[in-house]
Structure formats: structure tokens, C-alpha cells
Chains A and B, each alone.
Chain A
Amino acid sequence: MSTGVPAAAIDAPRFRALTSVRATGAAGVVSAIVVVAATFVAVFGPLLAPYDPELPNLDLAWIGPTGGHLLGFDVQGRDVLSRLLVGAQTSMLGPLVVVIISMITGVLLAIVAAWRRGAADAVISSGLDILFAFPGILLAVLATAVFGAGLPAAAIALSLAYMPYVARVLRGAAFRERSQPYVAALEVQGASATSICLRHLIPNTLPLIVAQATILFGYAMIDLAAISFLGLGVQPPRPDWGVMISENQTGIVQGYPLPALAPGLCIVAVVVAVNVLGERLFEQAQTARG
């Protein structure tokens, strides 16, 4: 790769690889469909829901699937399908927020560490090492104990817990990119550090960033649903897939498993799909780099 070629020309194939999820095999296609469908429901869920997801009617509690109610009723006699559709919103938006915050902070720290090296790198790396001491769920429980139960506190705490993992992976990639001859060439030409980082370093590590974000989304979804399951995240009666599982857990023992199993299946489906896509993206990022 000669430095005489404009950077845009070098990057073009990588961007094509990113924007078009190559349909290699059925698993990739199915996964892409699942993710698109889940995103669609997360955006339009409230419009699609046939009934009020928060309207209880104890006379209907635990009634199985009937004509107009495809998935039946939950512990409080609410329409399970409607709650599932509306619940997609917090279940998908929460992880998205976590991914965005942890990616932005993580990438920023990684780039600063790789660019400044020396003392700045040492401070950032040891700071991250300390954050590694807090498992995500524990940090989220701590945050909700201090700031009160709710999605915002849990999401911010999880972002903090994920940040060191993001920063560690990208720090390595940024270091490799920093030592490329083109960076030195640009510096000699007088380009500013900010412009080199924004226009070259970040775009060139973008495939890895996107792959990392995709994998992280799955983890964030599981952890946030767990927090809501514990009663520390999204608060009932608001529908959320994690909340629905904890509400309807009694149904498992009483012989009405569907209202708890349905949101569980949704979580697993989205996480599997995201993982499959994330692994593909990682492979592509590796081959693009090699």
C-alpha cells in the first residue's frame, strides 16, 4: 500500500465491506432479518401494538392464546403481544445507548493513548485497569443503589464498565495504525493531530469499531435485561423484556410459561443474531487489515 494513493481510495473497499453485509450463508441472512425486524419493532412497536400494553384486567390473567390475542394474557391480564411489541423499545434502545456511550469514550481514550503514548498512555491504561475491577452488573447495581432504580443509571453504569474493554481492543489497533508510514507522512506535511485522527485513524479502524460495537450490543442487551429482571432497571408497569420475565416467572411454576418464555426468546433471538453479525464483521475487519 503506497502512501501516494489518496486515502479515500484505500478506504473504499473497507467501506463497501462494511455497508453491505455479505450474505455468506443462511445464518447471516437470518440474523440480518432478525436485527432489522427487531429495530423496526423498537421504532414502531407502539403503533403496531393491538392493545394497551399497561391496561390490567385480572379476570383475564393467564388466559392462553385466543383469536385476537396471539400470545394470550400475562399475570395481570395484559395482552402479551402488545407488551412484547412496546417493550422492544426500552429493550433495544437501552443497549444502543450503552454501546454509543462506551464506544465514544473508549475510542477517544484509545486514540489519545495511542497518539500521545508515554505518560498519557500510562495514566489511561492504569485507570482502565482499575475500572476492570468492577463487573458490569455490580457497577449497575451500585449505581441504582445511589441514584435510584431506573434505566438511565443502569445504562450509564454499564457504559462505564464496558469502556475499558473497548479501549483495550482499540488501543492496540490505534497503536498499529499510528506506526503506519502514512501517518508520519501526513505529520511531515503539517496535518494537525486532530485532523489525522478524525480523517484517517478513526476511519481506518472503523471496521473494528463497528464489529466491536455489534458484539457489545449483545452483551449490553443481556446485562440491561438482567438489571430490569432484578427490578433495578425499567420499572413496572412499563413493559420491557427483562421486566416481563420477572413479572411472569410465577407462571412457569403454575403452568403458564408462555408470557415469561416469549420475551426470553426475543432476547435470545436478537443476541444470537447480533453475535453472528458481529463475528462476521470481526472476520472482515481482520482480513481488511491483513
Chain B
Amino acid sequence: MLLVSLLVASFLIFAAMYLAPGNPVAALSGGRSLPPSSLRVLEQRYHLNAPFFAQYWYWLDNVLHGNLGISITLRENVSTLIASRIWTTAGLVLYSSVLILVFGIGMGLVAGLRPGMLDTSTVIITAISAAIPAFVAAIVLILLFAVKLGWFPAIGNGTGLVDNIRHLTLPALALAVSSLAIVARVTRASVREEGEREHVQTAVSRGIPARQLIRRHVLRNAAIPITTIAGITIASLIAVAAVVETAFSLNGLGAYLVQAAQSKDLAVVQGISLLLVTAFVVVNLLVDMLYAWLDPRVSLGSRAT
């Protein structure tokens, strides 16, 4: 299923670029007019006269060998260009995921297990922050922590590990805000729901210690919806990273994809989209596997409706 998804996705990406208006020869030559002999060389090298499916096959073959073509604007291998930017995006998404898991689930657990003022304020705060788009979070964070307080830099990547992390802190926060709130809400709701279940109430009445009860009966069952929502939101970060990278002028894949889309550098758009789709599908698969492990009732392949 994973391979079929990827194959169809790669086909769609290729077909979209194939249909894009514009002459590939003009793109390759950079707009200069070429003598017919060089034109023929280009046509042959890039199989421009081959039928559509043959062209797709050549492209796929190249992609599987790690050759993603050449960027028209930068005159460099797309693979090289991607390799130099992938760590910024990977770091950003990873950092953000950690924030979401630690603070999202943490906040949700505290609110879910301790009703009262703290719970009410968590509900209100998360309802609002779930609606904050990453780019709005970005400008607010820059305003507060970079401009007013000066704790973190507003833009750029930084050099060295520590400096890198410092530079990625605000972007990771901006990327995490809404997902964190959503994860916190779902965690709170499912902890609450499990806590009210009959078997838990029975265990309470039988005097099972709260600590043991929460760990064995509440958290284990609540882990299933929490994993689902955390997986969905973390997978979605891969695409939203483009917005945050642009807002913070980070040199990542997403920001590069957007630039390439604006300048119609189609080889780059193809390469990065393919990579992001693959990452997205793989993360989703990992979540499905984790899900099956947490809940033996769900077997891989058959999805619960």
C-alpha cells in the first residue's frame, strides 16, 4: 500500500509538471536560442520526444538512482541542493515534534487529571491557540522574544549546534503552537473519558491506589487516541514547515520549494514535493504501526471505521 501510494503520488507529481505550460527546451537553455544540432542533443539527452509514459519511466529511474535533475535557476544538481537544506527542515520538524509531545501531552494530562481552575484555563487557552496559524505565531513570537526581550534571534540559521538550536527555538515554537494545543485538548478529553469508564470507577471504589490506576487503566487506553492525533499533527508539520521557514528566513526545504514554485524551477519542485510526500507517507505508516502495537485489536491493513 505504501509503495502504491508513493508510485501514484510520484506519477501525479510528474504529470503535473509535464502539463505545466512552458517549453522544456527553453527552460534548459535558459531562454537562449540554440542551433538545431544542440537542440537535438538536448532532446535526446532528456528524452523530450519520447512518449509521456516513457518519459515518466526515465524520470522515475533517475529518481530511484538519486538523480533528481538540475535546477534551472541555480544550475546545480537538485539532490545536492536538497541535501544542503534537509537538515534545517528535519531539525525544525523534530524540535517541534518534541515540543508537541512533551508540552501537548503534559498539559493535557495535568488538565485531564486535575479538574479545576488549571483545567478551565487550559481549555480556554488551547481553544484559542489551536486557531493560531503558524505564520501569525511566528510574528507574535518574533515581536515578544526577539524584538522586545531579545532572548532569541529573529531570523536565520546560525552556526554550530548550540547556535543552531537557539535559532530554531522560535521557529519550532511557531510550528508547534496549534498542534500542541490540539494534542493537549485530545489528551485531556481522552484522559477524562477513560477516567469515567465503569471499570475505572469500579477500581476506584475497590481502593486501588490512584497512581497505579492512572498508569494501568487510564493512560494505557487513552494512549490510543493521543497517538492518533499526535501522529496526524506531527505528519502535517512537514508541509507547514514551509510557512515557518519563510517567516524566519530559514534555509530549509519548504522555503526553497516555495521559491522554486515562484520561479517555476520545476525540477526542484518535483524533487522536494516527492521527498516531502514520501516523508509524510512514512510518518503516517509509522504511526499506524505504533497504533497497532498499542491496540492489538487493530491489525495492520484493516482500518477501524
A134 contacts the other chain (Cβ, under 8 Å)?
yes
- Kindly report which residue of chain A lies nearest to residue B255, judged by CB atoms: A230
Question: Is there contact, CB below 8 Å, between A145 and B128?
Answer: no
| Interface positions of A from 262 to 286, Cβ below 8 Å from B | 264, 267-268, 271-272, 275-276
Interface string of A198-241 (1 = CB under 8 A from B): 00000000000000000000100010011001111000000000
A133 to B278, CA, bound (A): 8
Interface string of A130-159 (1 = CB under 8 A from B): 101111111001111111010000000000
Interface string of A114-130 (1 = CB under 8 A from B): 00000000000000011
CB within 8 Å of B: which residues of A? 129-130, 132-138, 141-147, 149, 172, 175, 218, 222, 225-226, 229-232, 242, 245-246, 249, 252-253, 255, 257, 260-261, 264, 267-268, 271-272, 275-276
A249 to B266, CA, bound (A): 28
A144 to B127, CA, bound (A): 32
A268 to B133, CA, bound (A): 7
Query: Contacting B239 at CB < 8 Å: which of A135, A175, A225, A271?
Result: A135
Question: Is there contact, CB below 8 Å, between A133 and B281?
Answer: yes
B305 contacts the other chain (Cβ, under 8 Å)?
yes
Query: Contacting B269 at CB < 8 Å: which of A145, A246, A249, A252?
Result: A145
Question: Is there contact, CB below 8 Å, between B140 and A264?
Answer: yes
Question: Is there contact, CB below 8 Å, between B13 and A272?
Answer: no
Residues of the A chain whose Cβ atoms lie less than 8 Å from the Cβ of B258: 141, 230-232
Question: Is there contact, CB below 8 Å, between B305 and A172?
Answer: yes
Interface magnitude class on chain B: 35 or more
A72 to B243, CA, bound (A): 27
Closest approach, in angstroms, between the C-beta of A115 and any C-beta of chain B? 16
Question: Is there contact, CB below 8 Å, between A226 and B135?
Answer: yes
- Kindly report which residue of chain A lies nearest to residue B240, judged by CB atoms: A137
Query: Contacting A257 at CB < 8 Å: which of B16, B143, B243, B266?
Result: B143
Question: Is there contact, CB below 8 Å, between B131 and A146?
Answer: no
Question: Is there contact, CB below 8 Å, between A253 and B147?
Answer: yes
Query: Contacting A134 at CB < 8 Å: which of B127, B139, B257, B277?
Result: B277
Query: Contacting B136 at CB < 8 Å: which of A143, A172, A232, A268?
Result: A268
Query: Contacting B280 at CB < 8 Å: which of A135, A145, A225?
Result: A135
Interface string of B198-242 (1 = CB under 8 A from A): 000000000000000000000000000000000000011011101
